[in-house]
C-alpha cells in the first residue's frame, strides 16, 4: 500500500515531535503493509512556515536516520497546503512540494480550515486549474462546514478537484458525521485516495490497513485497492 498523507517528518508541524516518535510511526506503517510513505507536513504561512528547501533538508536527514534504523520503506516528500491567498505566490515561485501528477496536471494536497470553506475558495481553485494544477482536497469529511451542508463541496467536485478521505473516518475515529460523509463520498465514487493523515503513534497512528478493510466492505476490494495502491501509484509515477 501507499500512504499519501502523513505527518511523520519530525519537528516540522503538529505531527511527530521528535525522531523517536517519527521512527515509531514509520515502523508501524511498515508493519501495516505500507511500502511507500509520502510525508506531507503542513504549509500554512504564519503557523507552519515550512519552505521547500527546508523540508528537503529535513527529509535528507530523516532518510539517513531511517536507513540507520533498518526500516524498509520508501519515503517521498509532498505537503499539506492550507488554502489562502498565499497559495498564488507559492505556485508562482514554484515553492509547493507536489503530491503527484494526474492526467498530465500537477496535484497538491489542499486543506480547508476545519470549520468552514473560506469565501472565494472556488475562485482560487479555478485559477489553479487554469494553471494546470489540480487540488486534492484533504479530508473534506472532517470539515464541519461541509458536514453541515454537503452541497458546499459540489462546486469543487464539479470543477475537477480530487478528494482524499482519512482512513480513521471510515472506522468512526472522527465521529458520526465524518463517517457518514466519508461513506457517502466513497459510495458516490468521488474519492481518489484513502490515506492515514497520521500524526502520532498513540491516537493518530498510521492505520491504512484498517481503513482499506472498511472501504472494501463498502465498495468492494477492487475499488478499495485503487484508493491505496492504483491511484497513489499513478500520482507518483506521473510526477517522475
Q: Tell me the three cell numbers of residue 187.
A: 459510495
What whole-number distance in Å separates Cα of residue 226 and Cα of residue 63? 27
- What does the pLDDT read at residue 229? 98
pLDDT of residue 239: 79
pLDDT confidence of residue 211: 98
Q: How far apart are CA 56 and CA 79, in angstroms?
A: 11
Residue (of 146, 145, 183, 188) closest to 165 by Cα position: 183
Q: Which residues pair with 108 in a beta bridge?
A: 135
Q: pTM to 2 decimals? A: 0.97
Asked whether 101 and 238 are in contact (CB, 8 A), the reply is yes
For the chain, 240 residues long, give each residue's pLDDT as a single digit of tens.
999 999 999 999 999 999 999 999 999 999 999 999 999 999 999 999 999 999 999 999 999 999 999 999 999 999 999 999 999 999 999 999 999 999 999 999 999 999 999 999 999 999 999 999 999 999 999 999 999 899 999 999 999 999 999 999 999 999 999 999 999 999 999 999 999 999 999 999 999 999 999 999 999 999 999 999 999 999 999 876
Residue in 240, 213, 218 with CA at minimum distance from that of residue 1: 213
Mapped onto helix, strand or coil, the DSSP state of residue 110 is strand
Q: Which three cell numbers stand for residue 36?
A: 511507500
> To 5 degrees, how large is the angle CA 209–CA 211–CA 215?
120
Cell 472556488, residue located: 122
CB 156 within 8 A of CB 126: no
Q: Which long-range contacts (CB under 8 A, 24 or more apart) does 220-223 make?
A: none
Which pLDDT score is estimated for 240? 65
- Structural domain 2-239, CATH architecture: Alpha-Beta Barrel (3.20)
Amino acid at each position: 500500500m501507499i500512504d499519501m498523507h502523513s505527518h511523520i517528518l519530525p519537528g516540522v508541524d503538529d505531527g511527530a515531535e521528535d525522531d523517536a516518535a517519527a521512527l515509531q510511526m514509520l515502523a508501524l506503517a511498515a508493519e501495516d503493509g505500507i511500502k511507500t510513505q509520502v510525508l506531507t507536513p503542513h504549509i500554512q504561512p504564519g503557523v507552519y512556515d515550512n519552505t521547500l528547501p527546508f523540508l528537503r533538508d529535513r527529509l535528507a536527514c530523516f532518510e539517513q536516520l531511517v536507513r540507520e534504523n533498518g526500516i524498509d520503506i520508501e519515503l517521498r516528500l509532498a505537503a499539506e497546503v492550507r488554502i489562502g491567498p498565499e497559495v498564488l505566490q507559492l505556485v508562482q515561485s514554484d515553492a509547493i512540494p507536489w503530491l503527484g501528477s494526474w492526467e498530465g496536471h500537477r496535484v497538491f494536497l489542499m486543506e480547508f480550515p476545519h470549520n468552514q470553506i473560506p469565501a472565494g475558495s472556488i475562485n482560487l481553485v479555478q485559477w489553479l486549474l487554469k494553471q494546470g494544477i489540480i487540488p486534492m482536497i484533504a479530508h473534506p469529511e472532517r470539515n464541519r462546514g461541509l458536514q453541515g451542508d454537503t452541497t458546499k463541496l459540489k462546486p469543487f467536485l464539479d470543477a475537477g478537484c480530487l478528494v482524499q478521505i482519512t482512513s480513521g473516518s471510515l472506522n468512526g475515529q472522527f465521529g458520526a458525521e465524518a463517517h457518514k460523509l466519508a461513506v457517502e463520498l466513497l459510495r458516490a465514487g468521488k474519492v481518489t485516495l484513502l490515506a492515514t493523515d497520521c500524526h502520532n503513534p498513540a491516537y493518530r497512528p498510521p492505520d491504512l490497513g484498517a481503513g482499506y478493510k472498511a472501504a472494501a466492505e463498502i465498495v468492494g476490494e477492487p475499488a478499495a485497492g485503487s484508493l491505496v495502491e492504483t491511484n497513489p501509484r499513478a500520482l507518483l509515477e506521473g510526477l517522475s
